[in-house]
Structure formats: structure tokens, C-alpha cells
Amino acid sequence: MSSITYLEAIREAQAHALRDDPRVFIYGQDVGAFGGAFKATKNLAKEFPGRVLDSPISEDAMVGLAVGAAIEGMRPIIEMQFADFSTVGFNQIVNQASTLFWRTKVSCPITVRLPFGGTSGSGPFHSQCLEAIYAHYPGLVVLTPATVEDAYSMLLSAVAINDPVIFCEHKLLYYHLKAEKLPSEALPIGKARIAREGRDLTVVTYSAMVHEALVAATELATEGWEIEIVDLRSVKPLDTDTIVASVARTGRLLCVGEAWPWGGVTAEVIARVTSEGYGLLDAPPQRLNAKDTPVPYHPNLWAAHRPTAHSIAAAARNLLRQ
């Protein structure tokens, strides 16, 4: 039986969008004939002539061009070669794209794809998780799919949304994560998913960390603990209702993120649960993030820098003992 990877799902979603909507085009470094650094646009330039275009190494101008095209009614997809490089285009994303609708009533339907997150040997400048800084800005939607099905359906939604979308696709999931087929229906954007049901503790997480948490939950199940895992899918908007409902069932909350610890998605989740669901908590909510240093190169250091199934299980045990 054939299967499809997370990366192939992203390619298929783009092919679908290009096929269905003449307003869609893709612009980014090496996305044309070469098919992208990760091959997320493989063969698309050939299949859709003039609509999948190489850009110069100019992240600022790439996003600026997308905003201008959006004003003209197009729906551009911008591929950042790595999320890390989107900081060069940061100004256009957070000051131009994100303010346009609010200032002028003209919507800005651009999708900025960020291949993000750590992989072994990638080091400080090809590993970053930037979802929190984009989520901080008003006017942006920030998506973090954890499954092949979500990578596909959420990218289609991203292109259809009338607002700038930061689409965080995890590089570690590109080749390893597989599904039997592409989905025909999906949860709406803004709804979280219960990735595993449990009664003892809620782990709220997203993207690649969902899979680490699932492994941890399997390990803890052998010890008699039933862990519930909430996959956020979208970090902005954040589905507070699903999170609080889960905490109501378990009484314990552990938030896990691959991003750096200061502020961010895990802190936001805890802030919301403590203010909206304080009485539901049987123990102080906890968070687990990467260490507060740049992402290291060597696999030994990298494995210790980010949360893993092992460290998630350890943090969960500590919380379960409280």
C-alpha cells in the first residue's frame, strides 16, 4: 500500500491550491525548477508554468511582493527556505502584512511557509521555532500542524484564509511521518484535537512535540498513568475551550513546546488555564521547553536541548506525584 509523507502532503496541498485557484502562486528561493531545498515544490514549476517562481535571496522583498500581490487580489504562498531566515523578512510580515487589513479594510491573504524546528546537526540557524514571536503580533494567524492530514488540510485552509498565515511546518516530520491517504475532511482552523485520551494529566503541545508526548504517554501507560494529549494545531487562534475542558477532566496540566522558554505558547496556555480554570487544577501547572540557549549543532547537545519523550515523561511523573 502506498503512503504519503508530511512533506508530500505539503506539496500536494500546494498543487491542489494551484490547480483550484488561479490567484495562487508560489514565490521563494529555489522553489522553481529545483523544487525547493526540501522538495516541497517538486515538479510544480513544470506543472504550473509561470506560477512557481524562484526569488532572489531577499526575504524582505519576497514578503513585500506578496503583500502587493495580495492587494491586487492574488493569494501568494511564500516559502522561506528555513523559518530562521524569516527574521530577515520580519518587518514586512509584522508591520506590512499584519497591519494592512486593520488600517485599510483591504485583506492580505498571504501564506508564509516556515520549515521550522530542530533536526539533528542543523545547529543555531536552521532549527528555530518562531511561532511565538509571530503569534505575538495582531493580524496574523499561526498554524502548527502535527500530522500528515493536518499538514495537507491546514495548508489548504491557510491559502483560503483572508488573512496572513504563518504556516509552521516541522522539518523533523517531513520524511518520517506517513499516512495512508490524504484527508477529505478536517477540523476547522482554530480547533485543537485530542491526540490521546486520558484521565490523569493533560499534556498540551503542538507540532513535532505531539509525537514525543505520545511516546511518553505510552511509556507512562505501562506505569498505570493515563495521559491526555491536546494537539493545539493552531497556536493563534488558541483553542482555550478544548484545553480547559481537558484540564477539567484531568486536574493536571503540562505544557510542552520546542521553542525557547521565555514567554511563548506554553506560557500563554498556562496563563489562560490559571485565569479561566484555576479551580480545575489539582496541582500547579508546569511547562517544559527547550533550553534558553541557541539550538546546538551536535546531536548529543541537541537531544538534551529540546524536550523529548524521556524528559516529558519525567516532567509528567513529577507532576503526577504532586
Nearer to another protein, 8 or 163 (CB): 163
CB of 104 to another protein, least distance (A): 5
Concatenate the DSSP letters of all residues of 164-221 into one string.
Answer: -EEEEEETTHHHH-EESS--S--PPTT--EEEE--SSEEEEE-THHHHHHHHHHHHHH
Q: x/- contact string, 84-123, with another protein (CB under 8 A)?
A: ----x--xx--xx-xxxxxxx-xxx---------------
Nearer to another protein, 7 or 232 (CB): 232
Q: Residue 102: exposed, middle, or buried by beta-carbon count in 10 A (0-12, 13-18, 19+)?
A: exposed
If one asks whether residue 64 binds another protein (CB under 8 A), the answer comes out as: yes
In this structure, what are the phi and psi dihedrals at residue 167, rounded to the nearest 5 degrees? Answer: -105, 105
If one asks whether residue 263 binds another protein (CB under 8 A), the answer comes out as: no
Among residues 3, 43, 120, 162, the one that binds another protein under rule CB under 8 A: 162
Alpha helices in the chain (DSSP H): 6-20, 44-47, 59-71, 90-91, 98-104, 131-136, 148-160, 173-176, 208-221, 240-250, 264-276, 299-305, 309-321
Q: x/- contact string, 189-208, with another protein (CB under 8 A)?
A: xx------------------
As a whole number of angstroms, the distance between CA 318 and CA 267 comes to: 19
If one asks whether residue 45 binds another protein (CB under 8 A), the answer comes out as: no
Are residues 150 and 7 in contact, defined by beta-carbon separation less than 8 angstroms? no
If one asks whether residue 270 binds another protein (CB under 8 A), the answer comes out as: no
Active site annotation includes 126: yes
Binding site for another protein (CB under 8 A): 25, 50-51, 55-56, 58-74, 76, 88, 91-92, 95-96, 98-104, 106-108, 138-139, 141, 161-163, 189-190, 236-238
Residues designated as active site: 126
